[in-house]
């Protein structure tokens, strides 16, 4: 059976060569006579897989020694609670920007632990833009600032991260980590669920500046304490072993293809193709503020629910799947993460042009 072009927002398409390699190694990992799934997480073979994934991620992100890398569980959503539990140490106050559903969920969770200041809000136009914030003049008596760097549902991105000075910056990078070259060390804490640019769902990457460790609420469960995870090398309990192995294969694939800067170049080409088609079209349009457009998630509408359904159904017949937009935005959304080949975007554009005719 031919593989479809899968535009799902997450879990999303994975590089075909990675899936093939995982299939080859499924029954017998490199002549060890067993699958990675069956290995003890304390065995030398598995520890080597784990260390390889971690060091590749460090290399791809050009991460300085100031930051630790953790592979955790619970998805990005658990980070909505872990961040305040670990970082609300002095003022019991933090600043968030409200840029959509995921930011809202992060805010709701953080409110359980302290006071939340909203320092930017784009809810007035259904989150179709990145709000302006006067970062220099936000209150200084806060424990951290939180932004969602890419808003998966609405297709908006912070193309430049705020300079928050001495205030720690926390970034939810779930839907754009590794998508282009970025100085991630500007952030003090980054988290990302794996299921977009990293691998299958089930592992969450957390990158944390070492100086932020050791301030967790003393009643925080050990499994929610970053310091304890660092001390245990992400192996306080059994880690999501297979997912970390898969993430390692994806990191190798990114490296073989030139790393995040080459990914960025490719992603910009793919996104430009789609945005140009939308901008020229009399049928399709985008509600997103042009300068805030995401390279990863491209929502677009026709403005007529029946015709949108017809488009999605026809696309599916042509092997272009999971194009339905999130219910809060409607219409269509093409998620074009690293592993989406340009041929997928070309096929989508061709179908849009034919549909318009």
Binding site for ligand PLP (CB under 6 A): 10, 75-77, 102, 148, 152, 172, 174-175, 193
| Active-site residue (options: 143, 172, 188, 292) | 172
Our CB check for ligand PLP shows the closer of 204 and 277 to be 204
Kind of pairing between the strands at 204-209 and 189-193: antiparallel
CA distance 147 to 162: 9
* Beta carbon of residue 101, minimum distance to ligand PLP (angstroms, whole number): 8
Least distance from C-beta 289 to ligand PLP, angstroms?
A: 18
CB of 79 to ligand PLP, least distance (A): 8
124 in active site = no
The smaller minimum CB distance to ligand PLP, of residues 177 and 208, is found at: 177
Radius of gyration of the chain (CA): 21
Nearer to ligand PLP, 172 or 308 (CB): 172
* C-beta of 5 vs 191, nearer to ligand PLP: 191
Distance CA(6)–CA(78), nearest Å, equals 27
CB of 202 to ligand PLP, least distance (A): 9
Catalytic residue among 32, 105, 121, 196: 196
* Residue of 102, 143, 188, 292 marked catalytic: 102
Quick check: is 196 catalytic?
A: yes
Beta bridge partners of 165: none
Residue 270 annotated in active site: no
What are the Cα distances from residue 354, in Å, to 277, 311, 324, 350?
A: 12, 10, 18, 6
Nearer of residues 29 and 102 to ligand PLP, judged by Cβ: 102
**Distance of closest approach, residue 309 Cβ to ligand PLP, in angstroms:** 23
As beta bridge partners, residue 356 has none
| 1 C-beta neighbours (distance < 10 Å), count | 3
> What is the torsional sign of CA 168, 172, 176, 178?
positive
- The string of DSSP codes covering 177-201 is TTSS---GGG-SEEEEESTTTTSST
Annotated catalytic sites, by residue?
102, 172, 196
């Amino acid at each position: 059976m031919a593989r479809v072009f899968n535009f799902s927002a997450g879990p999303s398409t994975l590089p075909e060569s990675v899936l093939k390699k995982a299939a080859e190694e499924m029954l017998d990992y490199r002549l060890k006579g067993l699958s990675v799934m069956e290995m003890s997480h304390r065995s030398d073979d598995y520890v080597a897989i784990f260390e390889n994934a971690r060091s590749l991620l460090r290399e791809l992100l050009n991460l300085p020694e100031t930051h630790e890398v953790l592979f955790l569980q619970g998805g990005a959503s658990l980070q909505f609670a872990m961040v305040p539990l670990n970082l609300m140490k002095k003022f019991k106050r933090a600043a968030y920007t409200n840029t959509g559903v995921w930011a809202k969920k992060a805010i709701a969770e953080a409110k359980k632990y302290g006071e939340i200041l909203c320092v930017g809000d784009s809810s007035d136009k259904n989150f179709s833009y990145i709000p302006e914030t006067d970062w220099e003049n936000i209150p200084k008596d806060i424990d951290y600032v939180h932004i969602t760097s890419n808003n998966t549902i609405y297709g908006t991105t912070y193309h430049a991260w705020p300079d928050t000075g001495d205030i720690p910056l926390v970034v939810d990078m779930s839907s754009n980590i590794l998508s282009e070259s970025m100085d991630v060390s500007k952030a003090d804490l980054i988290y990302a669920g794996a299921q977009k640019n990293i691998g299958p769902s089930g592992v969450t990457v957390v990158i944390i500046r070492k100086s932020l460790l050791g301030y967790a609420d003393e009643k925080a469960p050990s499994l929610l304490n970053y310091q304890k995870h660092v001390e245990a090398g992400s192996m306080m309990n059994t880690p999501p072993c297979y997912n970390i192995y898969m993430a390692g294969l994806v990191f190798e694939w990114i490296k073989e293809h030139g790393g995040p800067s080459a990914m960025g170049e490719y992603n910009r080409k793919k996104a430009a193709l789609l945005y140009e088609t939308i901008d020229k079209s009399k049928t399709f349009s985008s509600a997103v503020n042009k300068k805030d457009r995401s390279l990863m998630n491209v929502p677009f509408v026709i403005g007529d629910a029946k015709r949108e359904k017809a488009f999605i159904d026809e696309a599916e017949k042509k092997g272009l799947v999971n194009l339905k937009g999130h219910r809060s935005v409607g219409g269509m959304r093409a998620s074009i993460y690293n592993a989406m080949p340009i041929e997928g975007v070309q096929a989508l554009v061709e179908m849009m042009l034919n549909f318009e005719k």
